[in-house]
Amino acid sequence: MNLDYENVVDKILCSEEDIKSRIKIVARKIEEYYKDSERKLLLLGILKGSVVFMADLMKELHLPIEVDFMRLSSYGKGAVSTGNIVIKAGLERKDLSEYNILIVEDILDTGNTLYWLVDYLKQEHMCENIKICTLLDKPDRREKPISVDFGCFTIPDEFVIGYGLDYNELYRDLPYVGVLKREIYEK
Ligand code: XMP
Ligand code: MG
């Protein structure tokens, strides 16, 4: 095994400490927004990228929450997502009308995935109040009219790994978010 695998990181964008403190701030905003709602709150994590963020965020929230997960994939050419989304693992319950839905995702990039998902949840699961919480936001790449409601960091247009985000399925376990060296994906 290559135990020196962290040498693919060009620079650290969000350190472990930065992430911890931003999650606390975002959790307080989420609590403030939902605390007086009559509806139950469902945190809907999008696998696999959200898994580390979801775990840390839910521990920080002082609200009664339920959690569920979906796995989506986008097909099309290259690494950029398209609007063609396939559900790899869906929700068991059909009627979610009694819930507020908070989508928890690693990153909002082009917006294609979550734009599709919000419409799907409204059409197929009767969701009315849907909000988006992401660790990262890359607004420079947006292709769809969608924005983050509760976000931790806005980042430049660079390919990032760590804290749930992968490159070829590796590096999700890094405790920070780092920029992947260009020579790794351009070679
Ligand atoms: P969009 O918003 O483009 O995002 O539909 C779809 C998915 O693309 C992934 N993504 C990244 N993954 N580093 C990653 O590891 C990145 O810089 C990056 N940008 C986008 C991510 O899974 C997102 O959910
Ligand atoms: Mg993802």
What pLDDT, on a 0 to 100 scale, did the predictor assign at position 186? 85
Mutate to test the pocket of ligand 1, among 106, 108, 142, 173 (most ligand atoms within 8 A of CB): 106
- Give the whole-angstrom CA distance, residue 41 versus residue 101: 6
What pLDDT, on a 0 to 100 scale, did the predictor assign at position 77? 52
CA angle centred on 89, ends 84 and 93, rounded to 5°: 110
Domains and CATH numbers, the chain: 23-156 (3.40.50.2020)
Put the strands of the sheet holding 40-47 in their side by side order. 85-89, 65-74, 40-47, 99-108, 130-137, 150-154
Q: How far is the CA of 48 from the centre of ligand 2 (A)?
A: 6
Per-run averaged pLDDT (10 residues), the chain, 187 residues = 83 98 98 97 98 98 98 72 85 96 97 96 97 98 97 97 96 97 87
Global pTM exceeds 0.85: yes
Secondary structure letter of residue 181 according to DSSP: P
- Give the whole-angstrom CA distance, residue 128 versus residue 78: 33
Reply yes or no on whether 137 is catalytic.
no
What pLDDT, on a 0 to 100 scale, did the predictor assign at position 5? 77
Ligand nearest to the CA of 160: 1
What pLDDT, on a 0 to 100 scale, did the predictor assign at position 74? 82
Put the strands of the sheet holding 177-180 in their side by side order. 9-14, 177-180, 160-161
